[in-house]
Amino acid sequence: MNKNYIVPSEWSIIENGFDADNVEASESLFSIGNGSMGQRANFEEDYSGKTFQGSYIGGIYYPDKTRVGWWKNGYPEYFAKVLNAPNWIGIHIKINGTTFDLNTCKISDFKRELNMKEGWLSRSFTAEIPSGEKVEVTTKRFVSVEINEVGAIEYSVKAVNFSGAIEFAPYVDSGIMNEDTNYDEFFWEILEVIDGDNNACILSKTLKTEFHVATAMQVSFAINNKEVSATKETSKEEKKITHTYKLQVLEGDVATIYKYASYTSSMNYEIADLVEASFLNVEKAANLGFNALLASQIKSWDEIWKTADIVIEGDVKAQQGIRFNIFQLNQTYMGTDARLNIGPKGFTGEKYGGSTYWDTEAYCIPFYMATKDQSVAKNLLKYRYNQLDKAIENAEKLGFTNGAALYPMVTMNGEECHNEWEITFEEIHRNGAMIYGIYNYVNYTQDFAYIPEFGLEVMIAIARFWHQRANYSAAKDKYVILGVTGPNEYENNINNNYYTNYLAKWCIEYTVECLNKVKEDYKEDFDRVIEKANLTAEETYEWLKVSDNMYFPYSEEHNVYLQQDGFLDKELIPTDKLEASQRPINQKWSWDRILRSCYIKQADTLQGMYLFEDRFSKEELERHFDFYEPITVHESSLSPCVHSILAASIDRMPKAYEMYLRTSRLDLDDYNHEVHEGCHITSMAGTWMAVVQGFGGMRVWQDGILAFNPQIPEEWKSYSFTINFRGNTIKVYKSQTECKFFNESENEIKLIVDNKEIILTPSVEVVL
């Protein structure tokens, strides 16, 4: 059974009633972030029940020594862990001397809300502590988008049935462990614990990577909304600093603590300046005050929603789902820092410890291209360009030569840090996504200049990889690619994975096409790149032999491309014959049983058809969809969105809608029973694509024309979205009866809608 406790609401994620069993799931779902840092929705006060504490800073990682049973040559030395950073939210609270801990209280009227419109998290509840005192608590917390090193908390306690002492003991704690350490090691060294008047700071550094981080706090108090001063007692420990303040209250009084906190890191400052910068941040925040900071937070999110929002009328759960996805994507990555990327769990958990997967290129780029300035997607591409040398080194470690590059499956700094052989060595299709990302960007933005300037070097190195990775099969008189894992990770060490072979062929062809164009139009860049890469025309002819003669497994009987050699030896039993008790199979079955089964984790052959849809006829798409979808278990978050888009494009709206709900509410309804580990951030971009590309039918065809083919699920009254397209803003609205386009820019825009050309004049609504 999937969980279903989130209250439907258009702009908020809401939990009513306290259930200790939901605490860890809610900690993921109610996470907050600002693209630079973020954290799980842990309680500020002590909690002795089950919890997974997590606070993370973009780009700060630890290379945790690889742990495997049996070492294989070529394994990376380490697995990069997104580091659980010092805790700045903590406030120990005592009511008349008794520790306040929800795990020991009688709780009523518990409500937790993540307000996505305004970017804050709150809780309110009444609690009776074991000694009989009753309190009403309200809290609000956010991490500021505007001052992206700062977070703020407002925490109020009303003394309902007593007069006495409420003790607030705010602290900074650097003694935080990652949940997923390989050797149970502590990853931080504490350098300094600094006490101030109403503030404190801890300077710590990560072991090995030596990132330095200063975590500061500053507090103030109010009783019944009037500022009061309080006397503090300091307790300084090796890894923690706590300030304890006792406020005397009368029955009915409300005591409030405001806690401002800041992370500053050596990614942005000289080490010697970190502590001061952190202190300055909290001072600035405290001077502005909670309400002013909150007002600017609301403004920042208002700006984000202007281009990012998708409005769905007539289906609250679908509306909540899409906004949750858009909100989390923005919380994870705002696009302002080219050193950062989009981790599959964002700032909501630690699994998938590395930061960057193929997910970025295959799933996330379209969302950022259409909802933000073009420079954001370019930053994402440049992230890979900057890591080309490491990708070449990575390929060299595996025996490739001549500047061939294999981009990592998981990375923080360009080095591979995934260490399961079937993924590290075999899931090489990821290399194809690197070029696809460039193609997609250039096609969408028409910024072809990116290719001569940066992209071409990446493309040459990847084409070299495919050329070397394929081998000639005399038996088939074709080129084959052996021993791979496709996107479907429920098959390993297979031969001729359709998706991988298709991408390899396409990568070579596209690289050669771009080489020719750059030679024609960007002669200087061409000469520079050719010299740097030491590339000859002869070498490209060798590449083309591989792409021209690539082998693709095909079944005459079913008239479909096969996912891999031998696929038809499997017993093809559709998933609707699988008992519910057996799912998800990755939690119920042995790995051996999974590998032997026909079940597909995520779109694989269909992933290729999705990326290159214009190369397949509708009948072909239908045939392949009907063959593969019934045996797909969608146990990767990246699966339902692709199926939703394909289903819409072959006019299967009920299926498209079913898959849409699954992708958009994957975490909210915990379909895969794992939300407590964190949210699936990268697939959220797929949810956005499911509306815009799926229902909206948006495509940018190779001739550069923007096309739509809007359809609407029966369950909805209407939906609308906005996209940035080459500097223009276009609004699309679709209801059950009409379809409207509005051009918010100053230029005329040509569109193809339902195969007919229309011209959008600025500020004139076109109704179809």
Neighbours of 184 (CB within 10 A): 7
Stretch that binds ligand BGC, among 4-12, 215-223, 352-360, 577-585 (CB under 6 A): 352-360
Beta carbon nearer to ligand BGC, 55 or 672: 672
Encoded one letter per residue, x for contact with ligand BGC by CB under 6 A and - for no contact, window 356-395 reads -xxx------------------------------------
Nearer to ligand BGC, 256 or 341 (CB): 341
Question: Exposed/middle/buried for 747, CB within 10 Å: 0-12, 13-18, 19+?
Answer: exposed
Conformational region of residue 96, where left means phi above 0, alpha means psi within -120 to 50, and beta covers everything else: left
Measured from the CB of residue 362, what is the shortest distance to ligand BGC in angstroms? 8
Torsion of CA 594, 599, 604, 610, to 10 degrees: -150
Q: Apex CA 337: angle with CA 332 and CA 338, to 5°?
A: 105
Report the residue closest to ligand BGC, judged by CB: 344
Report the residue number, 120 or 628, with the smaller CB distance to ligand BGC. 628
Rounded alpha-carbon distances, angstroms, from residue 716 to 38, 318, 645, 713:
33, 9, 17, 6
Rounded (10°) angle between helices 274-288 and 290-308: 90
**Residue 407 makes contact with ligand BGC by CB under 6 A:** no
Each residue of 100-138: b (16+ CB within 10 Å) or e? bbbeebebeebebbbbbebbbbbbebbbebeeebbbbbb
Min dist CB 277 to ligand BGC, Å, is 34
432, 426 in Cβ contact below 8 A?
Answer: no
Note whether 27 binds ligand BGC by CB under 6 A. no
Amino acid identity for residue 723 in this structure? I
| Number of residues binding to ligand BGC, judged by CB under 6 A | 12
| 358 known member of a binding site | yes
Active-site residue, selected from the candidate residues 44, 133, 361, 489: 489
Is 489 a catalytic site residue?
Answer: yes
| Contact predicate 171/195, CB 8 Å | no
Q: Cα(763)–Cα(766) distance, rounded to whole angstroms?
A: 10
SS (H, E, C) 255-296: EEEEEEEEEEECCCCCHHHHHHHHHHHHHHHHHHCHHHHHHH
- Helices and strands per DSSP (H, E), number in the chain: 22, 33
Considering only the stretches 31-39, 158-166, 350-358, 493-501, report the one whose residues sit in contact with ligand BGC under the rule CB under 6 A. Answer: 350-358
Could you give the C-alpha distances from 687 to 272, 628, 711, 712, 745, in angstroms and in order?
44, 20, 16, 15, 26
Tokens of 647: 């289903």
User: Could you tell me which of 718, 576, 695 has the C-alpha nearest to residue 633?
Assistant: 576
Separation between Cα atoms, residue 566 and residue 549, nearest integer Å: 20
Q: How far is the CB of 492 from ligand BGC (least distance, A)?
A: 12
Q: Which is nearer to ligand BGC, 355 or 709 (CB)?
A: 355
Cα 635 to Cα 485, 491, 600, 631: the distances in Å are 16, 13, 8, 12
What is the smallest separation between the CB atom of 419 and ligand BGC, expressed in angstroms? 15
Cross-strand bridge partners of residue 249 = 164
* Binding status of residue 638 toward ligand BGC by CB under 6 A: yes
> What stretch of H or E contains 430?
helix 430-445
CB nearer to ligand BGC: give 357 or 567.
357
Residue 601 annotated as lining a ligand binding site: yes
- Please give the structure tokens belonging to residue 419: 């260490």
Residue among 34, 36, 332, 682 that touches ligand BGC (CB under 6 A): 682
Nearest distance from residue 345's CB to ligand BGC, in Å?
Answer: 8
Residue 632 or 682 having the CB closest to ligand BGC:
682
**CA-CA-CA-CA torsion for 476, 481, 485, 490, nearest 10 degrees?**
-10
Residues 317-346 binding ligand BGC (CB under 6 A) are 344
Nearer to ligand BGC by Cβ, of 45 and 604: the residue is: 604
Interface stretch with ligand BGC, choices 21-29, 103-111, 355-363, 719-727 (CB under 6 A) = 355-363
Extract the runs of DSSP E, i.e. beta strands, from 420-529. 471-473, 478-480
Spell out, one character per residue from 161 to 200, where the chain touches ligand BGC: x when CB under 6 A holds, - when not.
----------------------------------------
> What is the smallest separation between the CB atom of 609 and ligand BGC, expressed in angstroms?
17
Q: Is 499 in the site for ligand BGC (CB under 6 A)?
A: no
Q: Select 497 or 724, whichever has its Cβ closest to ligand BGC.
A: 497
Q: Going by DSSP bridges, is the β-strand pair 91-95/120-128 parallel, antiparallel, or unpaired? A: unpaired
Q: Report the nearest approach of ligand BGC to the CB of residue 409 (Å).
A: 7
- Minimum CB separation of residue 357 from ligand BGC in Å reads 4
Determine which residue in the list 636, 649, 664, 693 makes contact with ligand BGC, applying CB under 6 A. 636
Choose, by CB under 6 A, the member of 352, 439, 450, 466 that binds ligand BGC: 352
Closest approach of ligand BGC to the CB of residue 417, in Å:
13
Which listed residue (315, 415, 489, 670) binds ligand BGC by CB under 6 A?
489
- Residue 568-607 contact track with ligand BGC, rule CB under 6 A, x = bound: ---------------------------------xx-----
Residue number with CB closer to ligand BGC (44 or 677): 677
Question: Has 359 been labeled as part of a binding site?
Answer: yes
Specify the amino acid at residue 293.
L
Do the beta carbons of residue 37 and residue 213 sit within 8 Å?
A: no
List the beta strands (DSSP E) in 91-211: 91-95, 98-99, 106-115, 120-128, 134-143, 150-159, 164-173, 188-195, 199-206
Per-residue tokens: 414: 């360009």
For ligand BGC, the binding residues in 63-122 under the rule CB under 6 A are none
- Pairing verdict, β 749-753 and 706-708: parallel
- By beta-carbon proximity to ligand BGC, the closer residue of 170 and 344 is 344
Least distance (Å) between residue 679 CB and ligand BGC: 11
Which range touches ligand BGC (CB under 6 A), out of 161-169, 354-362, 516-524, 660-668? 354-362
Which of 354, 366, 432, 487 lies at the binding interface for ligand BGC (CB under 6 A)? Answer: 487
User: Closer to ligand BGC at the Cβ: 38 or 354?
Assistant: 354
User: Residue 399 — left, alpha, or beta (φ > 0 → left; ψ -120 to 50 → alpha)?
Assistant: left
**Coil vs helix vs strand at 709:** coil
* Nearer to ligand BGC (CB atom), residue 128 or residue 420: 420
Other C-beta atoms lying within 10 Å of the C-beta of residue 332: 28
Q: Least separation, in Å, of the C-beta of 711 and ligand BGC?
A: 28
Structure tokens at 167: 């003790």
| List of residues 6+ apart from 288 with CB closer than 8 A | none
| Minimum CB–partner distance for residue 682 and ligand BGC (Å) | 5
Radius of gyration of the chain (CA): 27
Binding site for ligand BGC (CB under 6 A): 344, 352, 357-359, 487, 489, 601-602, 636, 638, 682
Catalytic residues: 489
Which residues carry a binding-site annotation for substrate?
Answer: 358-359, 601-602
Annotated binding site: 358-359, 601-602
